[in-house]
Chain A
Amino acid sequence: MLDYKYQDRDTVIHRLTPWSKLGWIASLVLLAVIFDHPVYLFLLFLSTIPVIAAARLTREWASLMKYCLFLCLAVVLINAIISQNGSHELVKAPFSIPLMGNLRITLEGIVCGVGNSLRLAAIISAFSVLILAIHPDDLMQGLIKMKLPYKSLLVASVSARFLPALLEDSRNIVAVQRSRGLEFSSGSKVQRTRNYMAIFIPLLSNSLERASQLAEVLESRGFGSKRRTFYKELKLTGSEIVVLISALLPGIFGIIIYSQGFGSYDYYPALEGIGFMGMEAICLIFLLFLATLVVFTALVKRRTEID
């Protein structure tokens, strides 16, 4: 089974500090949130692909995107049914539902669902770099250097690592209770809640047990002392600063053009045209260029390091 955790590959993207990667992800996620225009969102999604490819993560990414596709289909479907504000009616239900009237499926409802799916795909795709290409220990150290509290970060990172163990536990507990004749789908509501307690209580008490064991480990390895050092150094070298800036540029440029009124879009009551004026088209192409710029600066950085 493909699991979605850090994949150790020796690529230019993997060699970047966590800050550069975080900067790029933050830029793309920010833009995906502020822009509404489906073409913008689609281009944002496309611009994540060169980064994924440069990190040699296309296989894991493709498998993640398969799940994303199901999610998108659900978004389109739900949006088409729920949103009733469109003006171009495609289908109308012959019966009426209380409070909602006769359901109508409109062109606007579907297109709006597609637009939001693109937004979702762009965000998930950008986040896949966070999950797959940043070593969890590097991520933690990067965040510590950003003056976030160390102890809380350690707790967060350790809990993330316990997740597989928790899943394994819950699988086993479900197997145990099923072999004690438990059926999850039968019985009254009270009975069903009780059934879930048969899973939940052992899971909870096992996790508490794990937590207290871990606390003992931390205690006996001198955790919590004042002057702490770090085994691996994360440093912002000159070339790394260049990469970091190139990673932040798309975000900055995007905010500027957004403030000029670009990238907004209204689906309702009727779809707007998607033609671009000359200036907007140029800005959009430039934004696409900036969003993938990080791949080039990372390559250049690698070059300078070798020389």
Chain B
Amino acid sequence: MLNNITMGQYYPVDSPVHRLDPRVKLILTIAFIVAVFLVHTIWGYLLIAGFVYAVSRLARLPLKMLIRGLRPLRMILLLTFLLNLFFTAGDTVLLSFWVIRITREALRQAVFYSLRLVFLVLGTSILTLTTSPVALSDALEILLSPLKKIHFPAHELAMMMTIALRFIPTLLDETDKIMKAQMARGADFESGNLISRAKSMIPLLVPLFVSAFRRAGDLAMAMESRCYHGGEGRTRFRVLKLTRQDALACGCMALLIGLIVLEGILLR
């Protein structure tokens, strides 16, 4: 019933991209976003598209899965495209009827802005598809830890993220179970007006909250009984180490950015 909600959407296969250090992946993704913003020609987008394709092949991600990540964005994409198409000023008129005037510049901008959005989403999806949420919050903790000097709670934040992510599937399962149990008692979650529907959620929400609190209590107890006392002096079971592959990945990204800058200067 709730299976269509894929949270974290991690796609668990083994590939060179999956094996990269999550810190490196996070930084490279930011670099990729910058690269996408540097692009101003169609050749640049071809370069980016080639890069995304190559990485997704290397990561053994089905293309279908990547494309599916764009689906929630389709309205925004459409809107971006149309707004830019109709409301960008330009000189070379391609088409005009009634109050609508489409110029060459507008078309160009509409296409480019939409492409930019598409690649931003694709790039970040590759990160979340190839990096487990736990690894990602680990990376975030390490990258944010310099901020601890100004009392930014990097460890606590990452721990909260990890716990929240860990419990999303559990709570989804629980919701599914309680929903079924109440449906077996004749509950109706689907029909009726807004008020009766909201009311029909009570038999679902009360047990869900009760169990969430129970789990939170249990977890706190389990953590404390294993001497958890915050991040200070904590060592790691899995220490992240940079490898030659990480350096290679950084090199590839540097090459991509270099090419884009070069192409921007030469072909503009």
**Are chains A and B native binding partners rather than an unrelated pairing?**
no
Q: Which residues of A come within 8 Å of B, CB atoms? A: none
